[in-house]
Amino acid sequence: MNFLRNLLAAIFGCLIAFGIVFIMFFIFAAILGNTEQNVSIKNNSILELQLNRPISDYTGNNDVDPFSGIFEESQGLDEILHAIEVAKSDKDIKGISIQNNFILAGLAQTQAIRKALEDFKESGKFIYAYADFYMQKDYYLASVADKIYLNPVGVLDFKGLSSEVLFYKDLQEKSGIKMEVIRHGKYKSAVEPFLSNEMSDANRTQIKELISSLWNSMLQDISVGRNISTENLNIIADTLGGRTTEYAKASGLIDDTLFYDEYEAKLRETLDLKENDDLNSVLLEDYVVRSNSKITRKGDNKIAVIFAQGEILYGEGGPDVIGQGIINEAIIKAREDDKVKAIVLRVNSPGGSALTSDIIWREIELTKEKKPVIVSMGDMAASGGYYIACGADKIYAEPTTITGSIGVYGTIPNVTGLAKDIGVNAEQVGTNKNSVDYSVFEPMTDVFRKRFQEGVEESYETFLSRVAKGRNITMAKADSMAQGRVWSGVDAKKLGLVDELGNLNDAIAEAAKMSNLEEYGIRKYPKYKSGLERFMEDFGGASAKVKQEFIEEEVGVEAYSILKQFKSVMQQKGVQARMPFVLEIK
């Protein structure tokens, strides 16, 4: 009896303790949130641009939620761009200092930040950049600065872009685990690594032309920022003319080599401060809190901006996954809101489920009957990403956007070889002729392959018809640009796959023009779960996250990336409208 009484008392005590801790934590978070809302910035300050977290187009933070952003691992591109816009007219901010290594953003996202910084410079305020080492994307961002400084023993990587594709044909043969592949489109090479040990000429051609177009876009921006011709920049890259700090300075890639204390002295000099005066600065993540309270666009009429980011998978979706549930809910809500006069769909996706893509496409078609729909493409709007974009009234892409990839494929795992090696035999029993149509333990039959191929061909024809209708071209014309071929934003504009080159603000401005709006506010969708809800979910999944981090640490980042790619392909279900390869720009 005493044991039971003590046990109940202990349980009750634990519950009380947990409740107290939880309440204290909530109060602390609320206080922290209120403190952050009152970020104090001294006069004559510098905004420090340190992009040290992964950047996503949109995090869905809710300013009312005290947990908003506290547990967020990524930074929102929309908030970064807004902060730079606010800083342009902020009397307390005199300039920006870019201090960044290994920017965790896509090329189009980096270009968008760079454009915002170009606009900031029009205020007459300065931008300086400093780093211990510059990777190519970091240098591309830094090249917008008035002055670029590098640590005297630092490194600058400037050699051109490259892409690497891994092939698994031999691995399949040795392991007995293979992928059965059905595809349409000679450029649909997402499945090529499972069919061959080397790159096809078609795939090599499209990758070469794609990264060349991206590189040329980067060079044009760097050329303006550094006053070096693109021809000379290519010579510098070919000769590795920035491989030492002396060479980097001599070639004009940087202005000087300085230690960090010397760089701070430069900032003091620019701000007319004495040697012992404090250098006032504010970190970007703190300034975002202040800038979020500054509304730059106001009006009773609204333009809805709907963010569709991540892989396209059947289901509800979330911050990193495009599902028909959360996206269509946002589209319908914006469509039925009388104050919303136009919709901008921001697409950043390598594609995924063809079915889900078509479901979202349909909702956009219904919406166009009531109000304009404009698409703004981010880093990628490829395959399924282009599928959901092609029906819009107008499409904007960044020059470095990766788009197109109009093609479909299907993959089905098969372990016949492995089962035979380890002595496993599977027998099937069914009621009808086709009730047992496929087993991963048996070779794929010709009948099943033919039926699967029919599904792929039907999905391709449907995809092609959506493109032809949306772009007002013939099926033959759409097919000539399709076959799974991937294009840069620049090339897509030439082909007519997109209407204009521009960023999200350009798309919003076009939406306002099409709706005859001079004054308008912005409403962002979708609304994700609160910070507290995400915290509790993350807390519950902490064990799995720790396991992932442990595996990544043990096998290395590159090997872990390969495992994730292989796992992703194995988990794909149904016909896929997906990027034809995993592109990692180096």
Query: What residues are labeled active site?
Result: 188, 383
- The pairing of strands 521-525 and 486-488 is unpaired
Strands (E), 442-544: 486-488, 500-501, 521-525
CA torsion angle 72 77 81 84 (round to 10)? 50
| C-alpha closest to that of 312 among 301, 302, 325, 321 | 321
**Lookup: tokens for 368:** 């166009």
Q: How many CB atoms lie within 10 A of CB 563?
A: 12
**Lookup: tokens for 326:** 């959360």
Element (H, E) at 451: helix 446-471
What's the CA gap between 435 and 447, in Å, rounded? 13
Alpha-carbon Rg for the chain, nearest whole angstrom, is: 27
Name the amino acid, one letter, at 67: F
Residue pair 359/395 in contact (Cβ under 8 Å)? The answer is no
What's the CA gap between 117 and 144, in Å, rounded? 7
Q: How many residues does the chain have?
A: 586
Residue pair 249/151 in contact (Cβ under 8 Å)? The answer is no
Apex CA 581: angle with CA 576 and CA 585, to 5°?
Answer: 140
DSSP letters, 226-277, are HT--HHHHHHHHHTTTTSSHHHHHHTTS-SEE--HHHHHHHHHHHTT--TTS
Q: How many CB atoms lie within 10 A of CB 505?
A: 17
Dihedral over Cα of 16, 19, 23, 28: its sign: positive
Residue pair 176/420 in contact (Cβ under 8 Å)? The answer is yes
**Lookup: tokens for 74:** 């990524």
| C-alpha closest to that of 357 among 332, 323, 406, 309 | 323
